[in-house]
Structure 1
Amino acid sequence: MKRTLQTLLIALISVLKTHAQSPQFSQFYANPIYANPALAGDAGTPRFIANYRNQWASLGNAFQTAAFSFDTYAEDQEIGLGVQALHDQRGSALKSDQLSVQVSKMVFLDGQKEFRLIGGLQSAWTLNHWNGDNLTYVSQFLGSPDPLSGMSIQQNRITLSAGGLLEFVPKDEDYASYWVSTAWHNIGVNDNISIEHQRLNLQLGSKIPIGIPSFFGNNLGSDLDRESALNLGLQVRKQGSSRQLDAGFNIILSPLILGVWYRGMVWGETRRDALIGTAGWAYGNMLFQASYDLPVSSLGGDTGAFEISIWYGMDALFRFAGKKANNRNSRKCLRY
């Protein structure tokens, strides 16, 4: 228990020094508009998403992040719209609330409409709140009050974010699709946010169709109206001196999703973080996915995290057909 409390204290001190760091999700692919505003509307139908993360769950509710979003796609204008509310709690002293809106625009780069370029913008209002009531300060043991003890400090920020996505989605679903995206977050508007506080991320991915095993049906899959694919993904994220790599895969044998991911660095100064196992259910207009972070860092097993993601689409999210079916169906897929 003593070791756990010491670890928590070290983490809280680190958080105070890096309070500008943005929250992270192991299932970054399940919270698309948080990663890149260009992904607003990528389901091609009105969609609700809820994400919840409990970091270091063995210590109670010390670090929690929750996000709720809605996005939709205006087919005739090829424009995506989104809105998201996010709450991040870091111990009893620090919390952050954010409300953001996103807009994206898609253009086709070829006559077959297989190469697509999507740009996106985000505007966000963030309230950071510091409450020192429940903390004990060294100065108190020395007989003098600390200026931060008992104080409540709030900071409001308005920021912009921009992102882009280039993807190849073939008309023939038997061929693999590919994409690359990048986003630049926390561009200050009413407050001068230095480049050290801005967040940059790059994502690469591929969706490779695979045959459905015979115990799921007749080994054809087309008449089962199911996804069956190997989804590979990589994300590189940088904010200030913090660098992070996420890489792994999800196997979709609809309605099942199983995956393994790694978070940490593989070049420069090695900084291992976690192995992440995922399991989920995706069919029709519903997705439920859960994951657990198994620590592989020097902090030990008390630093694991549990995460869940839930999607609900007003129309089918997977294997959809309808008006302009080829265009809309190509947007309705699990990217990872």
Structure 2
Amino acid sequence: MNLNKHSGKGVYIIIWILLLTGAELRAQDPQFSQFYANPIYTNPAFTGSVNHGRVVMDVRNQWPSISGAFRTGSFSYDEHFDKINGGFGVQASYDEQGVGTLRTTSLNLIYAYQIPVNRKFTIQAAIQAGLMQKSIDFNKLLWYDQIILTQGFVNPTAEPNGNGTIMVPNFATGIIGYSKSFYGGVAIHNLLEPSQAFYVGASNPIPRRFTAHMGLVIPIVRDRDERRQVNLYPNVIVKSQRQFNQVNLGMYMSKGPYVAGAYFRQNTVNSDAFIILVGVRTPKIKIGYSYDATISAAKIGAVNSHEVTLSLELKKRIPRSKPRKVTCPDF
């Protein structure tokens, strides 16, 4: 029957429209697996935490074997400025779901203020403000009233189309504390829980996303020559967004320019994925690749994910007072 051919796609898209227009949202913000390669997305307080300009690009293809997979990208620029005693950054992201059915675009400006507590410990706090645009193509949606059991989705729908594009302000904040061997912080995104309803009168706020992260830097081989240094970076990242909770626990190891690591990701109800990451870094360029192997009991088919990051270090300035750099993983 034609219904078998189309029902998977129809159910998939109907589920998404229910999530988007219902009274309670259960979907989560887009996520990346290379948390520290894309630091500003993880926590805006990382803005200006290095003593040079930094450009970061991140592309993620989640579950590419499934029709209507998630495609997400992120771009950011940040730098430390003595005159503002902190960092300034610009961050943009793009997310596409359901073969272009739902698109989300964000553009944010960030300011982070650096507070040296003492010679060994520094705090950095940030505020982020921006705009978020969501658009939905109602022509690509399939509804239950279109179904003829023997033919599939053939009838016209009586469901009304809503506003295809919405734009709302969005805010975030974060704080990090760090020393030479420790780093940790907390971030809150969707601070005011803006509405993402496509229908007039509907209530559909985006839940606040809380992120807490912490890690250590453990030198294994010390050497003046960075190419011979070996370091371990055990760390944990915890996320919570309404009823969705997630723990990412893992470790990186770096030897000279090479980095490798692994994460285990646990969601509220099950084990979600095992993440493998490799990377290489030069004085000016850092490139990382990660692979998410889904291990959830709900796994259907090869629903794995790929992610690539590129970080460019711009020309170093000669600061009046050298900012305190966060010692954390590059990926």
> What is the identity, as a one-letter code, of the residue corresponding to 1:16?
I
In 1: Cα distance, 2:102 partner to 2:122 partner: 41
Distance 1:328 1:125, change over 3 A: same
Distance 1:61 1:190, change over 3 A: closer
Match of 2:23 in 1: none
Q: Report the Cα offset of residue 152 of structure 1.
A: 5.6
Match of 1:258 in 2: 260
Match of 1:188 in 2: 192
Match of 1:198 in 2: 208
Distance 1:252 1:324, change over 3 A: farther
Q: Report the Cα offset of residue 324 of structure 1.
A: 7.2
TM-score between both structures, scaled by the size of structure 1: 0.82
> What is the identity, as a one-letter code, of the residue corresponding to 1:54?
N
Match of 1:86 in 2: 93
1:248 and 2:250 aligned? yes
Please, which of 47, 50, 65 is the counterpart of residue 43 of structure 1?
A: 50
CA deviation map 1:49-89 (0-9, x unaligned)? 00000011223662100011111111354311100111100
Equivalence map 1:118-137=2 (5 Å):
118-137=124-143
Equivalence map 1:1-336=2 (5 Å):
12-19=13-20, 21-59=28-66, 62-75=69-82, 77-92=84-99, 93-110=101-118, 112=119, 114-141=120-147, 143=155, 145-148=157-160, 153-169=164-180, 177-188=181-192, 191=195, 197-211=207-221, 221-224=223-226, 228-265=230-267, 270-297=269-296, 298-315=298-315, 327-328=322-323, 330-331=325-326, 334=329
What 5-or-longer segments of structure 2 have no aligned partner? Answer: 21-26, 149-154, 197-202
Q: Report the Cα offset of residue 153 of structure 1.
A: 1.6
> What is the identity, as a one-letter code, of the residue corresponding to 2:80?
Y
In 1: Cα distance, 2:247 partner to 2:300 partner: 20
Q: Report the Cα offset of residue 35 of structure 1.
A: 1.4
Relative contact order (alpha carbons < 8 A, sep ≥ 6): 1 or 2 greater?
Answer: 2
Q: Is the 8 A contact 2:50 2:325 kept in 1?
A: no
Distance 1:332 1:165, change over 3 A: closer
CA deviation map 1:142-168 (0-9, x unaligned)? 65623256x662111101111111112
In 2: Cα distance, 1:22 partner to 1:198 partner: 10
> What is the identity, as a one-letter code, of the residue corresponding to 1:256?
Y
> What is the identity, as a one-letter code, of the residue corresponding to 2:173?
A
> What is the identity, as a one-letter code, of the residue corresponding to 1:158?
P
What is the SS of the residue equivalent to 1:43?
A: coil
Q: Is the 8 A contact 1:53 1:308 kept in 2?
A: yes
In 2: Cα distance, 1:4 partner to 1:228 partner: 53
Q: Is the 8 A contact 1:254 1:281 kept in 2?
A: no
Q: Report the Cα offset of residue 189 of structure 1.
A: 8.0
Q: Is the 8 A contact 1:44 1:75 kept in 2?
A: no
Q: Is the 8 A contact 2:60 2:307 kept in 1?
A: yes
In 2: Cα distance, 1:134 partner to 1:272 partner: 33
Q: Is the 8 A contact 2:54 2:78 kept in 1?
A: yes
CA deviation map 1:256-279 (0-9, x unaligned)? 1101011114xxx64111101001
Q: Is the 8 A contact 2:212 2:238 kept in 1?
A: yes
- Farther-moved stretch of structure 1 (133-142 vs 47-56): 133-142
In 2: Cα distance, 1:3 partner to 1:254 partner: 54
| Aligned-CA RMSD value | 3.0
Q: Report the Cα offset of residue 323 of structure 1.
A: 5.7
In 1: Cα distance, 2:294 partner to 2:233 partner: 23
CA deviation map 1:187-246 (0-9, x unaligned)? 2387599887111111111111121xxxxxxxx631345653111111111112111111
Percent of pairs with identical residues:
24
In 2: Cα distance, 1:278 partner to 1:148 partner: 45
Q: Is the 8 A contact 2:194 2:206 kept in 1?
A: no
> What is the identity, as a one-letter code, of the residue corresponding to 2:128?
Q
Q: Is the 8 A contact 2:43 2:187 kept in 1?
A: yes
> What is the identity, as a one-letter code, of the residue corresponding to 1:75?
D
CA deviation map 1:105-141 (0-9, x unaligned)? 111111x2x1111100000200011112123222123
Match of 2:152 in 1: none
> What is the identity, as a one-letter code, of the residue corresponding to 1:334?
P
Aligned length: 309
Match of 2:151 in 1: none
In 1: Cα distance, 2:303 partner to 2:8 partner: 9
